[in-house]
Structure 1
Amino acid sequence: MKRIYVNEEWCLGCHLCEYNCAFANSGMDNMSIALKDKPIYPRIHIEGDDQISYAVSCRHCTDPICVTSCIAGALSQDDGVIHVDQDKCVGCLTCILVCPYGALAPNENGIMQKCELCLTNICGEPACVKGCPNRAIIYEER
């Protein structure tokens, strides 16, 4: 299965992956209208300091503890990709507590969201990969 990998040596910490992710998941056609003067809720997050930066996103674990820990049954795994059913999520934050990678975060309504590899909103590679100016984020099978 293809996954997102990050080369932290190449990451500039520019946050463009976050903006491209938020736009790709906004459901809008115009980035300016979708994001200007609004808080963004990306499904990938840049962490780090002045020395090193890296993107954090879902690793789509083989045996995901977030799926088994979800009290509402909102998380499921299909063909290796972990999905969030936002209609089922009750916002209990259990998945955030158990994820060893810090890959889940609430959206503007307190409902959990995470990287789903842009499988439902764009063709080809994920938006964060397309939007990375230094090619620090790649989408490949290893």
Structure 2
Amino acid sequence: MKRIYAIEAWCIDCKRCEVACKTFHSRSRDTVKAFTVEYPQPQNRVRVEGTRQLSVAVNCRHCAQPKCVEGCISGAMTKNPRTGVVTSDPRKCVGCRTCVSLCPFGAVRIEDVAEKGIAYKCDLCGEVPGEAGEPSCVAACPNRALIYVESEGC
């Protein structure tokens, strides 16, 4: 299965991956509308952490045996048996945060949507790759600090 990996030395903390992800997951798929008028705000599933000297995009590795799926009490976290993509269904999430504590990569985050903590994580752009055949965050990275490659994973 293909996975996204970060090359920390090449990340310049521009956050274009975050913008591309949020835009992709917006209703309008328009950057300006996604950041200004859409409510609730679309959630980006990748985030850049660190400083200008050392930063890295944090994203899901779509593990072979995902701890987040094993620990999910509501069935919101699932792994597609055909593609291997791990997703979170916000309609089923009860905000217990078990997935957050179990993820070894810190890739699951909780966002307050309608006053209910909902788990969000990378979904590889809903298995609908962009024009280059890669997720939006990878396509948007100006330094190619994010790569989308075939891997056995975690």
Summarize the Cα distance change of 1:139–1:23 in structure 2 as closer, same or farther, 3 Å threshold: same
Greater displacement, 104-113 / 23-32: 104-113
Q: Which moved more, 1:114-123 or 1:127-136?
A: 114-123
Gaps of 5+ in 2: none
Match of 1:131 in 2: 140
- Please identify, of 120-129 and 73-82, the stretch whose mean Cα deviation from structure 2 is larger: 120-129
- Is the CA contact (8 Å cut-off) linking 2:47 and 2:59 kept in structure 1? yes
Matched pairs, number = 142
Shift of 1:105: 1.2
1:45-124 pair list within 5 angstroms: 45-78=47-80, 79-109=83-113, 110-120=117-127, 122-123=129-130, 124=133
Secondary structure of the residue that 2:56 maps to in structure 1? strand
Shift of residue 121 of structure 1? 5.2
Equivalent position of 1:28 in the other structure = 28
Q: Which segments of 5 or more consecutive residues in structure 1 lack a partner in the other structure?
A: none
CA distance in structure 2 between the partners assigned to 1:29 and 1:22 by the alignment? 9
Q: Residues 61 and 29 from structure 1, CA distance in 2 versus in 1: closer, same or farther, beyond 3 angstroms?
A: closer
TM-score, normalised on structure 2?
0.84
The 8 Å contact of residues 34 and 42 in structure 2, kept in 1 or not, is answered as no
Does the Cα contact within 8 Å between 1:41 and 1:108 map onto a contact in 2? Answer: no
Q: SS of 1:20's equivalent?
A: helix
Task: Please tell me the root mean square deviation across aligned C-alpha atoms, in Å.
Answer: 1.8
Which portions of structure 1, spanning 4 or more consecutive aligned residues, are displaced by more than 4 angstroms?
37-40
Q: Structure 1 residue 107: deviation in Å? A: 3.2
Q: Distance in 1 between matches of 2:20 and 2:90?
A: 21
1:6 aligns with: 6
In 2, Cα distance between the equivalents of 1:97 and 1:70? 11
